[in-house]
Structures are given as C-alpha cells and as structure tokens.
Structure 1
C-alpha cells in the first residue's frame, strides 16, 4: 500500500537564471514523495491565468494529481525570483499576495487530510494569517498516527515568533537547516550546542523526529533517543533549490516504511545530493533512486 502524503502551502514558478521551473517547498516535497512511490497531493491555489494553467499542466505531466489545487479568480499565480550565488545557494525574491496566499478548504480537502499518513507545511504560506488558519485547521484533522512535518523554511521577513511557536505545537516532526537553527534558537531561547537544543525542542514539543540539514556537511536525525549523523556526499552542485525538500520527502518515506535512522539518513543524503547536481527543485528522479521504496510494503497505519 502506498502512503498518502500531502504538501500544503505554496505552489509557484521559480524563475531561475536558466528559466522558470515549478517550485514551492511543499510542492517540491510532494513531487519528490510521489517520485519515490507515495500517493502525493499538493493543496494550494493558482491564479485564473496562463501561468497557473501551465503550472497545472506541468504537474500533471510529472504524474501529480492536481485535485487539491484550486483556482483563485482574484489573485495571480505565484512566482519567485531566484539568484544562484556561491556554492549553488539560492537567493529568493518572493512576490506578495499570490494565489497561494489565499488558501481555502472544502469538504473534499478536509477528507484528504483525514486520510493522510503524512502532511508537510511551512512558515511561508502562513504569512497571510487567513491561510495560516486554514493550514492549522486542515493539519489538525490528521489522524494521531500521521506525521505532521513542520518545515521551518524561513524566508525574508515572512514569519513571526508566534507562527513558529504555533507550528511547532501542531507538528510532531521538525525539519530545519543550519541557517535556520540560530534563528529558531533566538526565538525560543534555546541554549547549548546542537544536541542540547534538539533535545530541548524534542522534549518541549513532543517531537517524534528532528531532521537537520547542514549543506555539504550532511545531516543529523534525532528521534528523541537515537542520534544519526551523516557527513554528506560529494557532488558537483548545480544549485541547491529543492534539495532540502527532497531530503524531507525521503526521510518521511523511510520513517513510514519502518526504516532505521541510519538507512533513512543514507537514502535522504543520496537523494538530496542528486537534486543538488541538477537544475531546479524537481528534476526527474532516476530509477536507481525511485526503486528504493517501490518494492517496500508500507509499514505504518
């Protein structure tokens, strides 16, 4: 049985130097999860415009269902300017008041969340408080066994301490990177080193897992008891757009399939290294990586 996984939040165009690519962290997450064998959905909005129609068509061509993406007649499809700087790192310019800033929910959307085995949400799509309320309401409908992944994803000034705190209280899995941890530590008054901070986070918010990426230096996973550190894999970096989202998707697939932290970590670093070697957030997943989960029997639920 394939796990049912949802990414909720922004769906948009990443305007890279090489041209536009579909993107948005929860969209990238869902697309990577689908490529790895999940039945994945994106819950978001696009505008009633050519840009939105093309985005939906591209998602369908990638094998994604677009049933969770509604049309907003009043706001344009989202877009982001992306500059690639040293080390393939992206610098984003995120345009405001896009269709995905105006999330809505209906009975069909609520039913999706009641069925979900995992759902991933971030802080960016909560920059409009009304959309934040929709996200919290829908994520709150998931079963107690479901993974609720808060991908911190701090962008520009589009977050508040209140948003971070409320999201952590809703989540049972936290994903963050080495640029975000100091900001989170400041907001939450965390002290000590990385391990002390993670132990405090896991205890305070009753987290089942913390997934921490640190660029070329790999990652750390912590489940409240066990630590797993990975040094990372050498790769020729094109850009790092979407690499963290692919890491998150692989971690979620591994956890849902009952893998050990070591196995989860190895797979997630391999997938993220591949994405770093490609242009854009959601390059086609090679068969050697897709095959990791295709023979697995979904363990949870």
Structure 2
C-alpha cells in the first residue's frame, strides 16, 4: 500500500533557541513527523529569496522531505521566531511580521496535491494575514476527500473568534491542548467540563475526531461514539517544541490505518514523549515508533 500523503499547510520558520537555530513551524514539523513515521509528509509554505531560504530547502531535503510545494517570495524574508524555553522545557514564541509565509500563493502543483491528499493539517498562525488566509481557505475547500486537521496552535494575538469558527467549519478534525481549550471555553461560553465542551464543538461543527493534549496529564481522543482518555507517560523533557505536531501526525496516520482510539492515543503519546526527550522540533524517530511497527 502506498503511504498516506499529508500536507503541512502554513508557516515554515527558524526557531531561534538558546542552543542555536533549528527549522520548525507547526505545519512543517507535522510534515516532517508524518514522513519520519512512515507516511509521505509534504510541507506547503513560502520562504524568502535569501540565505535562510536556501538553508531551509537544504535542511528539508536532507531530512527526506519533498520541497516542490514551497514557494520563494521575492521580497519578504524567510520566517523566524524567537523561542524562549522555561525551566520546565516549555517554549513561548515571538513572531516577526511580514515574512514570506504571510504571502502564501499556491502553485498548480500544490493545488493538484491538495485534491488528492489524504491529510491536510493547518492552524491559525499562518492565517494572520488576509492573503495567506484566503489561500489556505481555498486550498482546503478543494480537498473534501482529506482528513482536514485544524491544529489550532494559538500564538500571541494572531487569532480571533471569527477565524477560529471559520477554521472549524473547514475542518473535520480538531487538535487542541488544555490551555487552548480554556481560551475557547471563555471565548465561546463553552461548558466548564472539558468532555462536555469538546462534545459541543464536535456536534456544532460535525467533527469526526477531537484530540485534546494535556502535557504530562495525558490526552483525550473523542469521536461521536467513542472516547479514549489516557494518562501521560513519565518523560525527561528537553524541550516541548514539535511534540504536539508529532502527536498530531501519529494520530492522523494511526487513524487512517484503522486503529481504535486507545491504540491511537497510546501510540501518539509514545511518539510525543520521544520528541520531548530530544532538542528541537524535528529529531530522528526510531524505527520502532514508525506506523508499520504499530
């Protein structure tokens, strides 16, 4: 069977860390982890016509990722983000404006890829500009066949109630963490109980799957007729960058492979725990964590 094809749609950028810079951006991280776990992950983004852009392509190609869906912007620079890691290994981010991924403009090849993709993952950050938001919306509407994962990834002030509602309407899967769910509860007057809040979102937006991560406190997966709520696993955390993206990738692949919710949840937890124990968003993934080993 051919590997499932997944597009990571949105920002690609360099995480500026205390230890140096590492390539990241949630959609690019997602595509990397799809690839590393045994699928075909393709980042879909824009980079600058600059040295960091060249380095971006080199790193992605060295990691085995296809780069045909990454465009070059003639004026806007390749994206960067200053990531500050606290004592618990948790990152906070500061994003410069007017970078290449604020001007997404998809090629004919990229649009063709979307119409046949099995999975498309997108978030809020790359939709901070009207140009990129329109491009992302159009691409998602061209892919009714795909698992369309809204990995909400709320960053700084780059989101609004309207953006979140519109994105939920484009998706059939929601991935969210406990802090983000708390924000949505206040924003939309959702029930206090997390399961009730998720069920209301599922019903309101006809979502096929909801994925809630709580860091060391485990994770919850919900469909219309099933629920998996499992504890976390003890992990020596180096940093959490990319862990949520690896969890999302593992859930997506295991879902399409037909596994039940508990199996999917355990698998994604193991993958994310491994990533938390490494530095940066795109660490090597051991063979025993690939989807064929599940």
Is residue 2:61 matched to residue 1:60? yes
In 1, are the aligned partners of 2:287 and 2:293 still within 8 Å (CA)? no
TM-score (norm 2): 0.98
Q: How far did 1:218 drift?
A: 1.1
The within-5 A match list for 1:91-130 is: 91-130=92-131
* 1:168 alignment partner, SS class: helix
Report the CA distance between 1:275 and its aligned residue. 0.4
The aligned residue for residue 49 of structure 2 is 48
How far did residue 186 of structure 1 move?
A: 1.9
Aligned to 2:82: 81
1-side partners of 2:40 and 2:293: how far apart? 15
8 Å contact 2:77–2:100 — kept in the other structure? yes
Separation in 2, partners of 1:275, 1:8:
21
Listed one character per residue, the Cα deviations across residues 220-276 of structure 1 (whole Å, up to 9, x for unaligned) are: 000122110110110100000110000000000000100110110010000000000
Distance 2:108 2:92 in 1: 37
Q: Secondary structure at the match of 1:26?
A: helix
Corresponding residue for residue 299 of structure 1: none
Cα-to-partner distance string for 1:71-98 (whole Å, 9 max, x where unaligned): 0011000000011003110011111111
How far does residue 282 in structure 1 lie from its aligned partner after superposition? Answer: 0.9
- Alignment-derived partner of residue 182 in structure 1: 182
The Cα of 1:45 is off from its aligned counterpart by: 0.4
C-alpha offsets along residues 100-124 of structure 1, whole Å, 9 cap, x if unaligned? 1110023211101001001000000
Deviates more, 1:159-168 or 1:180-189: 180-189
Give 3-state SS (helix, strand or coil) of 1:153's partner: coil
Match of 1:199 in 2: 199
Post-superposition offset of 1:162: 0.8
Deviates more, 1:98-107 or 1:6-15: 98-107
How much has 1:295 moved relative to structure 2?
Answer: 6.1
Aligned match of 1:18 = 19
1:159 aligned onto 2:159: yes
Any residues of structure 2 matched to 1:123-138 within 5 Å, and which? 123-138=124-139
**What residue in structure 1 maps to residue 292 of structure 2?**
294
What is the RMSD computed on CA atoms of the aligned residues? 1.0
Aligned counterparts of 2:14 and 2:293: Cα–Cα separation in 1: 33
The TM-score, its normalising length taken from structure 1, stands at 0.96
SS of the equivalent of 1:27 reads helix
Cα distance per residue 1:186-233 (max 9 Å; x no partner): 222212301110110100000000000001011000012211011011
Q: Secondary structure at the match of 1:162?
A: helix
- Find the counterpart in structure 1 of residue 281 from structure 2: 281
C-alpha contact (below 8 Å) 1:28/1:242 kept by paired residues? yes
The 8 Å contact of residues 115 and 143 in structure 1, kept in 2 or not, is answered as no
Quick check: 183-192 or 77-86, which moved more?
183-192
Classify the secondary structure of the residue corresponding to 1:28: helix
CA distance in 2, matches of 1:287, 1:258: 20
Q: Quote the residue 2:173 is aligned against.
A: 173
Residues 84 and 239 in structure 1, CA contact (< 8 A), matched pair in contact too: yes
